[in-house]
Chains A and B, each alone.
Chain A
Amino acid sequence: MKNKYKIYALVVLIAGGIFTSCSKWDVTPRDQISTESIAKTKDGIINVTNGVYALFKDQVMFNGFIDDNNQYLRQYFQMSDFASDDIVCGQVTTDPLYYSFTYTHSPDQDNSRFFWYVAYKMINGANTVIDIIENSGEIEPDQTVYQILGENYFLRAFTEFNLLRFYAFLPTVGNPESDPGIILRLDPAEPAKKARATVKESYDQVIADARKAASLMTMVRGKEYASKEAAWALLSRVYLYLDNNDMAIAYADSVINSGRFSLETADSYPSYFPNAITRNETIFLIAFTQQDNRGKFGSIASMIYSDGNSGWGEEYASESLRDVMDEHLEDVRWKYIDTLYNEDGSVHKKNGIEVYYITKFSFQDGDPNLSSPVMFRLAEMYLNRAEGYAKKGNEAKALDDVNEIRKNRGLEESLYTSVPAGQTILDVVLKERRIELAFEGHRTYDLIRNHRDIIRKYWGYHITGIQVPDIDPNNPPSGYPGLDIKWNDPITLYYIPSDEILANDLCVQNP
């Protein structure tokens, strides 16, 4: 019987022992950091800043899952250039990128919802860093801290500006004093619901943020990060959109005169885009490493280029753009248009559309789907300045800048000495800008802000409902709706995503 009690005692002891030993209630995640912990170290704010950069390229979970299609920069380029006259649609698709070709937008389209969401996630990241540095008192300020602060102001300004292009009338199109702009998020702790600022207020904020960014940044961290010059380049671009030519010229001057950058030459230009990280023309780009190769389902290149397997290759350089470039077949900028030929030497057609692949987003490290997309480069500064001069009536200076580009693109023999008959100086500048900056997200807004219609009188599946036999290679399409888009047509705006409207009743929808 004694044994029995010993066993009882042992059991009770063991049970009690387990009870007291096993209670850990503050389980913290192994791959996430709490907002409170970030504010405690300089490392924390640097990591969050890197996070804002990373969001340009990351496939972020949205609606509960990660969709390979969804990546900020992919939508940035598709939503701007697929709506332009530079790229033709070769395939009807259920991917919402199709709506940019057809201008049949809806508040529910995935690409636009994702773009809006991630843009504000970047702003949230930037605001978190700004708030920690300016208000928490935890971080001892030094040159690096100011640089980081400046980069976050830059990232906020750039993101706000990119939102404004898609979701609000451009300042030169509508009435900036009354048109709704974007929701300005400046403080991570503000209430969830907030109304849209006006277009004017929104652009004022972009300018203020970019200026503050320029004043804070003093370090040169590499093209993968923002810099004083990147902020100036942004200011030059924004002032052009505001039709403030003096300021656009002034900031372009600042960048050009900084001495940090030089134009690629006709020899180096064909290898520029795959190697933009190391090249002097680059002001700022988003770095993609091998880790960021998004492959067929998610790369920027996969829709516009394929080596047969690497991508979908469904959208091509348009006939309209090629016609403009046909004047100069020696132009090295043709190198980024790759024609697919049949065995008999004719141009291969997909669904009746000639295949002219676009390669500005391919071949970093030789990979057809990898590139580090350039956000700002020196050529744009020359063209911004040229446009400013053109609008101020200074033809000579405008032509100088245009010629500076042409000299470096294999057109030394074809420099302008005067404005060709039948064209204005602005025509000349915009034509050069179109060829130089093709597929880089500018064309649609360059047209609209200058009150020029988007004219797409070429065959492609932006014309809804056509079948292959409808395509007549000898005659351009006519009579179909949607070939021309008026510069002030509200259909050029993307809708504010339905998610925002539903959860934020202060936010008004676009017309």
Chain B
Amino acid sequence: MRKTLFLIGFALLLLPVFGQVTGTVFDENKSTLPGVNIFVKGTTNGTVSDLNGSFTIDVKKGVVLVFQYTGYQNKEITIESPTEKLDVYMVPDVVNMDEVVVMGYSDKTKTEVSSAVAVLNSNQLKDVTTDDLGSMLQGKVAGVQVVDATGEPGSSSQIRIRGVSTIKPGNQEPLYVVDGIIGGSFDPNDVKTVTVLKDAGATGMYGARANKGVIVITTKSGSYGKTTFNFNASVGVKIADQGNLTMMTGPEFYDWSKELYRDPETHEIDIIKFYKAYPKYLPDSNYNWVGNGFQPAITQQYNLSASGSSKKFNYYVSGVYVNEEGTFRNTDYQKLNFRLNTEYRFNKWASLRNNVNVYTNEGSYYDYMDMYYTYLALPWDNPYTPDGTLKYIDGNTPGKWWSRDKINPFHTIDNSEHRSKGVGIDYDLVLKLKFTKWLSFTSSNRLSYSTDFSHDYVSPIAAGPYHDKGYVREQQNNWRGAITTNLLHFDFEFGKNTLNGLAGIELDGGSYEYLWNEGKGLPEGFDVPSVASSELKIGGTSTIEYFNSFISQINYNYDKRYFLTASFRVDKTSNFPPDHNTAMFPSIAASWLVSNEHFFKNVSFMNLLKLRLSYGVTGDPDIGASRFMGLFSLTSQYNSNPAAIPFQLANYDLTWEHTNEFNVGLDMSFVKRVSLTFNFYNNITKDLIVLVAQPLSQGFESRWENAGEVTNTGIELNLDAIIIKSKSVEWNFGVNFSQNTNILSGIENPFYSTVSGVSQIYRNDASIYTFILPKWLGVDVQTGAPLWEKVNDDGTKEPTSNYKDATPQEVGNALPDFLGGASTSLSWKGLSLYVSVAYQYGNDIYNYTRRFMDNDGHEPYVNAMVFKPGWSRWEKPGDVATHPSMQNADLSTENSSRYLEDGSFLKIRNVTLSYSLPRRWVSAMKMTDFVLSLRADNVYTWTGFWGQDPEVTLAKGDWSMPGVTDFKYPINRQFVFNINIKF
């Protein structure tokens, strides 16, 4: 034995099979490059280049060393002699074709991808300071519409991928996949990449749930080599962005009120009569409700993470703390998020990944009525007494309170609470087994639990319906889910052919419980339900959903020139009747990498040309359980006995919505500087699940049916360019554009959706979300009366001042014609400037708030908005005016196209100025990176929309209609200072 060892040792000395490679990594400017990942291909043996770009790694002869650095092409070097000293020059690349695209069930290199996907890495995400990933995507991906509909702390944005394909209420957000498993939670700080899957070639794998698009999130994992730390801190101030909305001051509203006293005969203001009702001292009272209700707020975010690896083990651990004050009185949000990602390799063929994400949050949200009153309270009323305490006002309070509603919203806000708390945990366990060279198995499993709790409390001190009684309501939501995905993967290579794929099953189940209780009669100062002494009520419900799926995919490519991907998925869900609960979702995608053809070798100006084509079927089962059954609801009672109320008409034919998606695309890159991606798509969603209106005289409003189809057709364009790239200066520019056309067809009768009297029509050959309202024609020049358009039976049109005669017409649409964004970054040495913009064109917004703020004397005691330049009120015959005479304005504020406005905008989303400290300073501090930056978000918006910010909800819900704005929480303009340190 000893002899043998000796012999081996001797041999080693003679032939350097094992050894240490040392070297230095340089960038294209021959500067040393620290932080480059260096590892032996096919192993976890790796290291990172140090501050001087140098590295040392233990290797044996013949292995391939891989050099990886974001923004640069991967470099592979075969080690001929383990003792050599290497100088490695990294080549920057605008399109890194070897970059791995994480697509959920499978990962592919960019070369192999045959479908429309967009990838964003963490550097492209972290410009805007927010706790919401959606906001970070705004304007960055063609085909993705992100709406920041509210600025409430802790809120999330709405995302629509390639238009809107479903018209039923409820969830319209894309499917999220975190670390390869459907669902899950994450903090934006922990995100490494975001992949947006846009066509069926990619989303087909998610079959039944994919027709609203899929967003695949990958969280960070252990880096190679020794432990590195990253610390990030942001502190800033935010200000409510009221857009073009300015409420009137005391004197302005005084002048506005004078119009109420314009004599209908003489057309002069009867000032004597006016002064009788409105004392002359009034305009001296000038309280700024909006200015005081909304205050600058502090926002803070801290993140500390560590990552590292050893031969068998790698880990990433991260903690995030977010503390956001809200701009509106008494609103805030705090969050703590912890993530631990580890991977353990037992041996060459087995590994186990454990990912845990835990979060807890807490915040104060706002009450709609408090905001409503804050905007509408008159400047002549002051919420404070002269000694600085808040006034108590109710209907019987002596003395004058001018505002229509006898309430002091600040008093209410300060004597009430609207708090929420949440906890969530996701635990992932992924087992990977490599049976043979070509066959492997993965079992991905996740357990999820989340709960949130809300507490609404109104003190007995507050005025209003709970005065003297107090009110408390608490609600609890629990969600528990489990999912397991078990896949066999195969991978063959023979000659120039590559064939790989997977097949397996997925089982998914979740249960949801909801509980609430409320009570009144609270002792002052106490706010839990158990002290409530009267009107105690409880409620709650629970539901369960199951999914079973079969998943398969085959990928083939020939010589990295011709690519083919086909997938087939079968889904079964408990949401549909037994005869219709199973559906099949096939897809196929092909691409031709023209630039890899021999004949292309000589084309020097173009280094990439790829053609893509895909077709497939995806679905949407998102309607909740039991929507097909004939049901009576037992949630009522009569005289304290159970009562069953007709609730739902049966439809045992109800089944999935499914979308046939077609995509053709082109990827190009010129002179390694300019890259261009183009996509055209045509998505036809059939068997729409809709609530088809029933005659009310049946006792039901509607019935769930499959009816009609929506076609979304569009183009997407993405252009990135490196304009200047020299040793010290770099200037990049990117722009994206997407256009989408939406058409509804195949429905029997047009139907309407109405919220607060504003209607949208769903009819064949029209886009969904089309407003149908009486058409406003302005003001009668002679009488000052409002004018609407009446369409007679014979098609002729005439103006009418009688609202009842006005014909509802299609007057606009909530969906934009096109949208997108652009960004540019300019850097000089350590200094860099980044600017991004987002734009949207052609959508209409129904400004519901103007029914109150822009009335014609119907609501004389609510504050009015300052007129848009060009608006005027009719005073006397002959006046060409936009606003009717207050004396002749019957029903003028009723819903009509008067309040429908163009919602187009161009917004400077973000400006960031950052400074990276010189490397030698940083090294002196024993760090690898030190970046200081100043960021400004939502800097400026150009829009003709005369209201709050023009980003308006696209959600279809109980109180919300797409494109209708109604006293929203204003979005934030914020200025943030950020430090990022790596060591």
Listed in ascending order, the chain A residues whose CB lies under 8 Å from chain B are 4, 7-8, 11, 15, 18-19, 22-36, 38, 44, 46-48, 50-51, 53-55, 57-58, 60, 62-65, 92, 94, 104, 106, 108, 110, 113, 116-117, 120-125, 128, 183, 185, 192-194, 222, 224-225, 287, 289-291, 293, 295-297, 306-310, 313, 340, 342-343, 464-465, 467-469, 497, 499-500, 502-504, 507
* Least Cβ–Cβ distance between A74 and chain B, in angstroms: 16
Residues of A close to B644: CB separation below 8 A:
33, 38, 44, 47-48, 50-51, 125
Binding site secondary structure of chain B: mixed
Residues of A close to B698: CB separation below 8 A:
120, 124, 185, 192
B632 touches A65 (CB 8 A): no
Asked if B851 is an interface residue, CB under 8 A from chain A, the answer is: yes
**A291-B640, A308-B394 as given contacts; A185 in contact with B697, CB under 8 Å:** yes
A499 touches B958 (CB 8 A): no
**A35-B631, A308-B394 as given contacts; A104 in contact with B858, CB under 8 Å:** no
Residues of A close to B858: CB separation below 8 A:
92
Residues of B close to A295: CB separation below 8 A:
465
Residues of B close to A116: CB separation below 8 A:
696-697
* Least Cβ–Cβ distance between A219 and chain B, in angstroms: 15
Complex Cα gap A307–B891 (Å): 31
* Least Cβ–Cβ distance between B747 and chain A, in angstroms: 13
- Which residues of B674-691 have CB atoms within 8 Å of chain A's CB atoms? none
Complex Cα gap A217–B755 (Å): 43
Cβ contacts A to B, 30 pairs, < 8 Å:
A7-B350, A23-B548, A26-B578, A27-B546, A30-B541, A32-B632, A32-B647, A34-B630, A36-B630, A38-B644, A48-B643, A50-B642, A51-B646, A54-B638, A94-B893, A106-B804, A108-B757, A122-B699, A125-B646, A192-B694, A193-B695, A225-B639, A296-B464, A296-B465, A309-B394, A310-B465, A465-B890, A467-B277, A467-B860, A503-B695
Residues of A close to B431: CB separation below 8 A:
11
Asked if B93 is an interface residue, CB under 8 A from chain A, the answer is: no
Partner of B637, one of A54, A92, A465, A504: A54
Asked if B879 is an interface residue, CB under 8 A from chain A, the answer is: no
A8 touches B484 (CB 8 A): no
Complex Cα gap A8–B395 (Å): 76
Most buried by A among B433, B441, B466, B644: B644
Partner of B632, one of A30, A51, A63, A94: A51
B695 touches A194 (CB 8 A): yes
Complex Cα gap A306–B695 (Å): 38
Residues of B close to A467: CB separation below 8 A:
260-261, 277, 857, 860
* Least Cβ–Cβ distance between B89 and chain A, in angstroms: 43
Residues of B close to A110: CB separation below 8 A:
757
A117 touches B696 (CB 8 A): yes
* Least Cβ–Cβ distance between B773 and chain A, in angstroms: 11
User: Which residue of chain B has the shortest Cβ distance to A94 in the bound complex?
Assistant: B851
Residues of B close to A25: CB separation below 8 A:
546, 572, 574, 578, 581
Residues of A close to B630: CB separation below 8 A:
34-36
Count of residues in B whose CB is under 8 Å from the partner chain: 98
Residues of A close to B169: CB separation below 8 A:
64
Complex Cα gap A415–B349 (Å): 106
User: Which residue of chain A has the shortest Cβ distance to B548 in the bound complex?
Assistant: A23
Complex Cα gap A185–B699 (Å): 9
Asked if B601 is an interface residue, CB under 8 A from chain A, the answer is: no
B395 touches A308 (CB 8 A): yes
User: Which residue of chain B has the shortest Cβ distance to A369 in the bound complex?
Assistant: B465
* Least Cβ–Cβ distance between A394 and chain B, in angstroms: 40
Complex Cα gap A32–B542 (Å): 11
User: Which residue of chain B has the shortest Cβ distance to A309 in the bound complex?
Assistant: B467
Asked if B635 is an interface residue, CB under 8 A from chain A, the answer is: yes
A51 touches B638 (CB 8 A): yes
Residues of B close to A293: CB separation below 8 A:
535
Complex Cα gap A306–B407 (Å): 14
Chain B 641-662 interface mask (CB, 8 Å, partner A; 1/0): 1111111101000000000000
Complex Cα gap A342–B349 (Å): 89
Asked if B522 is an interface residue, CB under 8 A from chain A, the answer is: no
* Least Cβ–Cβ distance between B905 and chain A, in angstroms: 29
B537 touches A291 (CB 8 A): yes
A48 touches B632 (CB 8 A): yes
* Least Cβ–Cβ distance between B553 and chain A, in angstroms: 18
Asked if B492 is an interface residue, CB under 8 A from chain A, the answer is: no
**A7-B350, A28-B626, A467-B260 as given contacts; A290 in contact with B699, CB under 8 Å:** no
Partner of B543, one of A30, A291, A502: A30
Residues of A close to B633: CB separation below 8 A:
31-32
Asked if B496 is an interface residue, CB under 8 A from chain A, the answer is: no
Partner of B277, one of A106, A291, A469: A469
Complex Cα gap A306–B889 (Å): 31
**A23-B548, A33-B632 as given contacts; A309 in contact with B468, CB under 8 Å:** yes
Residues of B close to A122: CB separation below 8 A:
699
B696 touches A51 (CB 8 A): no
Residues of B close to A497: CB separation below 8 A:
696
A224 touches B639 (CB 8 A): yes
Complex Cα gap A230–B732 (Å): 83
Asked if B700 is an interface residue, CB under 8 A from chain A, the answer is: yes
**A11-B433, A50-B641, A504-B695 as given contacts; A121 in contact with B395, CB under 8 Å:** no
A104 touches B804 (CB 8 A): yes
**A92-B859, A309-B394, A309-B465 as given contacts; A291 in contact with B693, CB under 8 Å:** no
**A120-B699, A121-B645, A290-B535 as given contacts; A38 in contact with B632, CB under 8 Å:** yes
**A30-B541, A290-B534 as given contacts; A507 in contact with B699, CB under 8 Å:** no
A15 touches B638 (CB 8 A): no
Chain B 588-626 interface mask (CB, 8 Å, partner A; 1/0): 000000000000000000000000000000000000011
Residues of B close to A23: CB separation below 8 A:
546, 548
Given contacts A32-B647, A469-B277, 20 further A-B contacts (CB under 8 A): A19-B505, A23-B546, A27-B575, A29-B626, A33-B644, A44-B644, A50-B636, A51-B643, A51-B645, A55-B645, A58-B636, A117-B696, A124-B698, A287-B638, A287-B639, A293-B535, A308-B394, A309-B395, A309-B465, A499-B701
* Least Cβ–Cβ distance between B734 and chain A, in angstroms: 41
Complex Cα gap A124–B644 (Å): 12
Asked if B21 is an interface residue, CB under 8 A from chain A, the answer is: no
Complex Cα gap A141–B982 (Å): 83
Asked if B276 is an interface residue, CB under 8 A from chain A, the answer is: yes
B277 touches A50 (CB 8 A): no
* Least Cβ–Cβ distance between A465 and chain B, in angstroms: 7
Residues of A close to B535: CB separation below 8 A:
290-291, 293
Asked if B810 is an interface residue, CB under 8 A from chain A, the answer is: no
* Least Cβ–Cβ distance between B248 and chain A, in angstroms: 19
* Least Cβ–Cβ distance between A325 and chain B, in angstroms: 25
B546 touches A24 (CB 8 A): yes
A22 touches B509 (CB 8 A): yes
B542 touches A30 (CB 8 A): yes
- Which residues of B889-922 have CB atoms within 8 Å of chain A's CB atoms? 889-891, 893
Residues of B close to A128: CB separation below 8 A:
646
B632 touches A306 (CB 8 A): no
Asked if B796 is an interface residue, CB under 8 A from chain A, the answer is: no
Complex Cα gap A108–B625 (Å): 32
Partner of A503, one of B273, B574, B694: B694
* Least Cβ–Cβ distance between A346 and chain B, in angstroms: 13
Residues of B close to A117: CB separation below 8 A:
696, 699, 701
Residues of B close to A26: CB separation below 8 A:
574, 578
User: Which residue of chain B has the shortest Cβ distance to A35 in the bound complex?
Assistant: B630
User: Which residue of chain A has the shortest Cβ distance to B397 in the bound complex?
Assistant: A308
Complex Cα gap A116–B697 (Å): 7
Asked if B752 is an interface residue, CB under 8 A from chain A, the answer is: yes
A4 touches B349 (CB 8 A): yes
Complex Cα gap A124–B648 (Å): 11
Asked if B91 is an interface residue, CB under 8 A from chain A, the answer is: no
A289 touches B640 (CB 8 A): yes
* Least Cβ–Cβ distance between B646 and chain A, in angstroms: 5
Complex Cα gap A309–B534 (Å): 17
Residues of A close to B637: CB separation below 8 A:
50, 54, 291
B887 touches A465 (CB 8 A): yes
